[in-house]
Amino acid sequence: KVHGLSHKFGYKTRRNKLYVCEDCGHTSIDPANHYGHIKVMHPYSSLIHRQYDRRQFKFDSNTSSTSSSNNNTLISTSERSFSSPFKNDRSKLMDGHKIKTKSKFKVRHQKHKLFRANEPLLSVLMWGVNFSIHELENVNIPVMLLPEHFKAYVKIRIDNQNFNKEVMPSHFKVKEYCPLVFRAFREYWKIHDSRFRDSLTEPLIPLSETTKSNLTLYQSSDRRFILKCIAKEDVEQIHNILPEYHRYIVETQGDTLLPHFYALYRLTVDDKESYVLVMRNVLSTKYKIHYKYDVKGSTVDRSATDKEKLNPCPTLKDNDFIEGKRTIDLGSEQKKIFMERLKRDVNFLVSQHKMDYSLLIGIHDLDQGGIERDQTTSSGDMNTSDLSGNESSEGSESPAQIGDDYSSDEPFTMRSSEASSRRELYNLGVIDILTYYGMKKKSAHVAKTKLSGSDADGISTVRPEIYARRFLDFIDRNFT
């Protein structure tokens, strides 16, 4: 732009452009000179001064004056003359007629994805996931993971000055922990990087529920992934158990009820650090969840509050499970397989001195029916109330059709036994496995024991061995 003229007159300063005055034929290749000529010589002109392509003008060395031929305007200078391919439209302009000319500019379409979100943190997360997956495409997969891979990280800092500030913060940092290790986890559970990226670069949806530590939860638009903002202490615990966790996943070939960890990021926006853990969603991505329980095997302070029960699909707890006389009817064969897998996972947690974990149970009643959403529905058509199965979709299928393909893409799903009076689908998975039984928890155990008195056996803060035994006993009693 030259002194703002490009904006005012629509001119572009580029090569091979000739600016022509249609009052007197004055020509110039500089828009500033052209504007100066108009301002001085024709201050009251209302004509539209167009720009012409010099390559389309005919050069005539013998002509020194302005003439007309075949309705083309010939424009001369003191040295050479050019014949315009455009008609002299002055009379039409004066009569108020509009003249349509072919645009010389091509439409430019967006080539790069914009990571738009309501919160700057989510925009940065979407950008970071895309950047990380793109970088991993150029990294060879190691034959085996070495100790150095469990300490590796990728960190990038972005400083923009008045650039793209409508979409992204001007200054932010993204750090991904152990990228090769988490890529190996995704491969074990058959999560392709492109699918992972596509899921997390669509607008994320905040869940209305919060954790016991008031940490924020998000869900991907396709409902496959849960994103949890965790504390810095939890990041330390993940690093502590990651080598053994990886070894355990390899030994079991990914056949586990433990959380499926897919990625871990640190995001810095406005000098505030946030840690985001990406996991597989235990609950169904397709079927409506009618009942939901979080059980630990303890009874002290293990009831949903009255406020929580007002939610359309509240997360109930141990005492609610017992008072409702609930049972999970898997049948003898399925229960045997499930309990063997659960005991193996719990023994691993005991070896890592973990406690305070729980079993998340999501129940879909086949007789009530209800599909969460059409798998082809775009994320823009979804609302937060749909995430917990609070609103059934239109056009629900018959109960006989629902649940026939539940095992194809949902590893945490089991079906009730044929002998059961209930026709249900169960989503079962162990969650919140990062609590370490150290000095802090030992002190909490002593304090809670004194406060609870005779109910001390029901508190959740106990030694890992006691916690595991009580947890398995509760599951074994209530699963048939």
Rounded to whole angstroms, what are the CA distances from 403 to 279, 306, 415, 425, 429? 24, 32, 8, 7, 18
Q: Within 13 Å of residue 70, how many CA atoms lie on the same side as its CB?
A: 4
Judging by beta carbons within 10 Å of its beta carbon (0-12, 13-18, 19+), is residue 10 exposed, middle or buried? exposed
3-state secondary structure of 471: helix
Bridge pairing between strands 68-69 and 72-76: antiparallel
Cβ-contact 188, 254 below 8 angstroms = yes
Is residue 133 within 8 A of residue 113, CB to CB? The reply is no
Catalytic-labelled residue, pool 234, 320, 329, 356:
356
CA distances from 288 to 3, 285, 308, 459 (A): 61, 8, 19, 33
CA 153, distance to chain mean position in Å, is: 21
**Closest to 11 (Cα-Cα) out of 39, 47, 48, 51:** 51
Of 236, 193, 165, whose CA–CA distance to 434 is shortest? 236
Q: Which residues contact 10 (CB under 8 A, 6 or more apart)?
A: none
What is the spatial distance between Cα 362 and Cα 291, in angstroms, rounded to a whole number? 6
Task: Give the count of beta carbons closer than 10 Å to the beta carbon of residue 189.
Answer: 14
Amino acid symbol at 31: P
At position 456, the amino acid (one-letter code) is A
Active site residue 228: yes
Let me know if 212 is a catalytic residue: no
User: Residue for token digits 């960190």?
Assistant: 155
- Which of 228, 317, 354, 448 is catalytic? The answer is 228
In sequence order, the 6+-apart residues with CB closer than 8 A to the CB of 399 are 366, 367, 369, 423
- Catalytic residues, by residue number, are 228, 356
